[in-house]
Every structure is written in C-alpha cells, then in structure tokens.
Amino acid sequence: MTEAQPVLLERRGHVAALTLNRPESRNALSVAMMRQLREILQELRDDASVWLVTLTGAGGKAFCAGADLKERRTMPEQQVPEVLALIRGLMDDIAALPQPSLAILNGHAFGGGCEMALACDLRVLASEAMMGLTETSLGIIPGAGGCVRLPRLLGLAKAKELILLAKRLSAAEALQVGLVHEVCQGTEIDALGQAYIDALLRNGPLALRAAKRAMEGSWDLPAADALRFETECYMQIIPTQDRLEALAAFAEKRAPVFKGC
C-alpha cells in the first residue's frame, strides 16, 4: 500500500498537506515518489484555493533520508543523469511554488531530504532530529540545489564547512546556524507546525504570494531594479478585494476575512 502511494495529499481547507509515505525506507526519494510529487506540485501551483503547502514525513523517525540508494545501486549508469534531472526538477518545483511552503521536519533530513527542506520557505525541526548535506561522504555532491541554496541561506564559508565535511547537524546546531526557524520536542512538532500554519492563514493569501515573489525575484537584482520589481508585485495587490477587506477590518477593529481574490 505504501509503495503504491508513496506520497499522501490531504487538503485541509486552504492548506495542501503532503506526507512522504515510505516510512520503511525512511521516506527515501524513489523514482516513483519523485514523479508523484512533481505531478501533485504541478496541480497545486495552479490551484488558487491552495494558500499554503506543507511537507512532512510518515513514521516520525525520518523526514527524508535522501535518495533511495538501494534503488540507485540497481540503476544502469546511463539512467543516473535522468534521475538527477528528476530530483533537481522536484526541488525546483517546490521552490517555484507561488504559495508559501512549510517543511515540518519530524525526523532526520539528510542529502536530498535536506535539499527538499532548503527548497521550502519555512522550516521547523524536531529536537531529536539531525540534518545535513552528507553527499560527499558517498562520493557525490549535493546535486539537487544544495550547493546553490545552502550558500545563499547560510553564506559561502559556512556552506563549504557543512558540505565539504559532510557534517550532520543536531537540531540545536541547525537552529544556531539558521538552517531552521524553530525547534521543539518531536511530540510537539505537529503543534508547532500548526502554529505556523495558523499564523500564515491569518494573512492575505494574495499578499503572501506577492511578497514571496517580490523577495525571490528581486534579491539578486541591483537595488534600483529590485525596487521596481517590488513595486510591480505591490501593484498586483491594489485591485484585490482582500486589500479592501483588510482596510475595512482595520477601520472596524476586527480580523479581516480573506477570500483570496
């Protein structure tokens, strides 16, 4: 049953909750899992009723152990570039979601699992879990965005330390270097994730999309171009009903009721 459905999708109101569902393999990224994930993400990115996407792992021991090395061992060498393109495309799909994405890391996240977390906008981690881009210890490199996203998140010097030494970070270390936003006991990780979900859903969904686009699209531009791009993103919000609702709610001293339009 698990292998027949390696990814679970549950729609909870405006939240699309994805669960990696191969606990017997520590939710390792098989070809079937990655293909299913990409299909789901393609569906979600075009769904205006989805305001937030979350990712977590089944079983509680691992969020994702990375690539399925057992599967990889039986793979013909000529197929490896195709699988690399698949896993890279998956991480790019996560990063390109117009909605905010939240990784609820309820267990270890190594290799491709860590790269998946890096592709998300927000990350919370169970205190018993560890993280790391450990590929160099296996004779390869982080090839699904890790060598790009980790330096941009933590800085080049720290990223070199972590990748070249194949370091495994404890939850406390991951929090200290800024790899995750918050840490809690594993028994409380779902509650912490829900707190983030509730906080995000209190904000305007179109504003969240626009703010994400403004930050992602401008951060490596020259300042003047970045400011122009930010203005373009802001202009998309002006004609929305949600903006007018927020103004009315402020005047009436109540919480706004956003509709995503």
Predicted pLDDT of residue 70: 81
Report the pLDDT averaged over residues 135-141: 93
Domain ranges of the chain: 7-201, 205-252
Hey, do 7-201 and 205-252 end up sharing a CATH topology, with the first three levels equal? no
The catalytically annotated residue of 135, 174, 214, 246 is: 135
Evaluate if residue 75 carries a pLDDT over 80: no
Q: If you count them, how many residues does the chain have?
A: 261
Residue 71 known to be catalytic: no
Dump pLDDT digits (tens) for 3-14: 679 999 999 999
* 112, 132, 145, 193: the active-site residue: 112
pLDDT in tens, 143-185: 999 999 999 999 999 999 999 999 999 999 999 999 999 999 9
**Active site residue: 115, 126, 214, 246, which one?**
115
Whether residue 57 lies in the annotated active site:
no
Q: What is the pTM of this model?
A: 0.93
pLDDT of residue 1: 39
pLDDT over 90 percentage in the chain: 90
Which pLDDT band, with edges at 50, 70 and 90, does 2 fall under?
very low
Q: What is the 3-state secondary structure (H, E, C) of the chain?
A: CCCCCCEEEEEECCEEEEEECCHHHCCCECHHHHHHHHHHHHHHHCCCCCCEEEEEECCCCEEECCECHHHHHCCCHHHHHHHHHHHHHHHHHHHCCCCCEEEEECCEEECHHHHHHHHCCEEEEECCCEEECCHHHHCCCCCCCHHHHHHHHHCHHHHHHHHHCCCCEEHHHHHHHCCCCEEECHHHHHHHHHHHHHHHHCCCHHHHHHHHHHHHHHCCCCHHHHHHHHHHHHHHHCCCHHHHHHHHHHHHCCCCCCCCC
135 tagged catalytic: yes
User: Which residue has better confidence, 69 or 198?
Assistant: 198
- Its CATH architecture, for the domain 205-252, is Orthogonal Bundle (1.10)
pLDDT score of 161: 98
The confidence score (pLDDT) of residue 221 equals 94
Catalytic residue list contains 4: no
Tell me the fold of 7-201: 2-enoyl-CoA Hydratase; Chain A, domain 1 (3.90.226)
pLDDT for residue 3: 61
Per-residue pLDDT tens digits for 209-259: 999 999 999 999 999 999 999 999 999 999 999 999 999 999 999 999 999
Predicted confidence at residue 151, as pLDDT, reads 97
For residue 78, pLDDT beyond 80: no
Supply the mean pLDDT for the chain. 94
Could you say which of 16, 65, 67, 174 is catalytic?
A: 67
- Per residue in 15-72, pLDDT (tens digit) is 999 999 999 999 999 999 999 999 999 999 999 999 999 999 999 889 999 888 787 7
